[in-house]
Amino acid sequence: MLIATLLFFFGLLLSAFFSGTETGLYRVSRMRLVLDALGGSRSSRALVWLLNRPAIFVATALVGNNVANYVTSFAIVSATGFLFDTGSMAELLGPIFLTPVVFVFGELLPKYLFYHAPYRLLRSTRILLLGFAIVLAPVSIVLGALGVVLRKITGKTPFPVRLTMAKRELEKVLQAGQEAGILAEGQRKFARQLLEVGNRRAILFGVSVSRVAQVETPIDLDRAKNEARKCNHSIILVSQKEKIVGYFRYADLLTTTEPIHWQPVSEAKADDRHLRVLLKLYDVGSEVALLTGEGGKPKGLVTRRQLLEPLIK
């Protein structure tokens, strides 16, 4: 009975620890940890390393909570089996009556405390947290590798926390900047919109190449006008030997009777993100990006204007 009681409280403490530290890692200010790490704190440096690899600490908390729940359940069943006859209703009623205790002291209360004081409590428990991260590393690494495999297969990850954490951190900084009078409301909204849009695939904002007019060199102006009217798109692609090499606008056809001087088109991958493609267009001074898939096959076309519109709405 004594062993079962000790196991119960041990499992309850484990559950409280892993539930609280997981919430604390989501809530803690990464800037404060970075400053501590720059000040020479090795444990803070290790916590920053852990925060930069969210799949590892999420897997650690997941495994730790499962171990804690198993220990707690085993202790309750063992205690009820010792006090009452095996197979009696007590083995069923014991876990039911103790579930609120486990939920409040093993989940709700530690999450509440770490939510409101994440930095202070993480500093107090960081050695223990890093120790469990090392002990559970073999299982955490396997779960992290499984997450990578699932992401390759489904396109999604079971640990979608990196961007969420970064967005929360930046939102706090922007809010503090607005309260201090450094940022205006419009600047804060623009930054928030950039976070929402910038990580989406650029191809979602463009059009298929089949919906854009294409002409071969040398350019026939009349044929180019007819193709542009059919496709109803302002961009006309220029191809040489079935390879897209440049572009010009339909407006250029209306203002000149001389041979068109087309502009080189910028290339990006079909899976590239919105912000990456937009910055690339500014770097190379181009207005149009050709998005290619496997083997360099064109899959879509996106203009700088199409990438800027969702940011300023």
**Whether 209 and 295 share a structural domain:** yes
**Whether 144 and 63 share a structural domain:** yes
Task: Show the domain range for 188.
Answer: 162-199
The pLDDT assigned to 162 comes to 47
**What CATH number is associated with residue 254?**
3.10.580.10
**Whether 77 and 180 share a structural domain:** no
Most confidently modeled of 133-137, 165-169, 190-194, 228-232? 133-137
With beta carbons less than 8 A apart as the criterion, state whether 104 and 27 touch: no
The pLDDT assigned to 28 comes to 81
Express as a percent the part of the chain with pLDDT over 90. Answer: 1
Phi–psi pair at 198, nearest 5 degrees: -60, -25
Read off the pLDDT of each residue in 9-37 and give the average, rounded to a whole number.
84
Q: How many domains does the chain have?
A: 3
**Whether 186 and 119 share a structural domain:** no
Please give the C-alpha separations between residue 131 and each of 44, 87, 276, 293, 308, in angstroms, as whole numbers: 13, 39, 38, 44, 47
With beta carbons less than 8 A apart as the criterion, state whether 17 and 113 touch: no
Read off the pLDDT of each residue in 227-256 and give the average, rounded to a whole number.
81
With beta carbons less than 8 A apart as the criterion, state whether 65 and 140 touch: no
Specify burial of residue 19 (Cβ count, 10 A radius: 0-12, 13-18, 19+).
buried
What mean pLDDT is reported for the chain? 79
The pLDDT assigned to 275 comes to 85
What is the distance between the alpha carbons of residues 203 and 311, in angstroms, rounded to a whole number?
16
**Whether 209 and 276 share a structural domain:** yes
Domain end marker among 84, 119, 154: 154
The pLDDT assigned to 208 comes to 86
**Whether 149 and 256 share a structural domain:** no
The pLDDT assigned to 106 comes to 85
Q: 26 is written with which tokens?
A: 């989501």
**Whether 169 and 225 share a structural domain:** no
Phi–psi pair at 207, nearest 5 degrees: -130, 165
Specify burial of residue 232 (Cβ count, 10 A radius: 0-12, 13-18, 19+).
exposed
**Whether 259 and 289 share a structural domain:** yes
Q: Confidence band (pLDDT; 50, 70, 90) for 17?
A: very high
What is the distance between the alpha carbons of residues 148 and 278, in angstroms, rounded to a whole number?
27
What is the distance between the alpha carbons of residues 175 and 281, in angstroms, rounded to a whole number?
30
For tokens 């916590």, what's the residue? 47
Domain end marker among 119, 138, 154: 154
Instruction: Name the nearest CA neighbour of 17 among 68, 58, 51, 74.
Output: 68
**Is 50 exceeded by the pLDDT of residue 187?**
yes
Please give the C-alpha separations between residue 151 and each of 144, 154, 269, 299, 313, in angstroms, as whole numbers: 11, 5, 18, 22, 31
**Whether 229 and 95 share a structural domain:** no
**Whether 148 and 209 share a structural domain:** no
For tokens 């102006």, what's the residue? 221
Q: Confidence band (pLDDT; 50, 70, 90) for 211?
A: confident
Instruction: Name the nearest CA neighbour of 18 among 99, 135, 176, 96.
Output: 135
With beta carbons less than 8 A apart as the criterion, state whether 36 and 110 touch: no
Question: What confidence tens digit (pLDDT) does each residue in 255-301 have?
Answer: 766 667 788 888 888 888 888 888 888 888 888 888 988 777 888 88
Question: What confidence tens digit (pLDDT) does each residue in 37-96 have?
Answer: 888 888 888 888 888 777 777 788 888 888 888 888 888 877 777 766 555 565 666 667
Q: Confidence band (pLDDT; 50, 70, 90) for 163?
A: very low
Read off the pLDDT of each residue in 175-197 and give the average, rounded to a whole number.
67
Instruction: Name the nearest CA neighbour of 167 among 26, 16, 10.
Output: 26
**Whether 135 and 44 share a structural domain:** yes
**Whether 268 and 302 share a structural domain:** yes
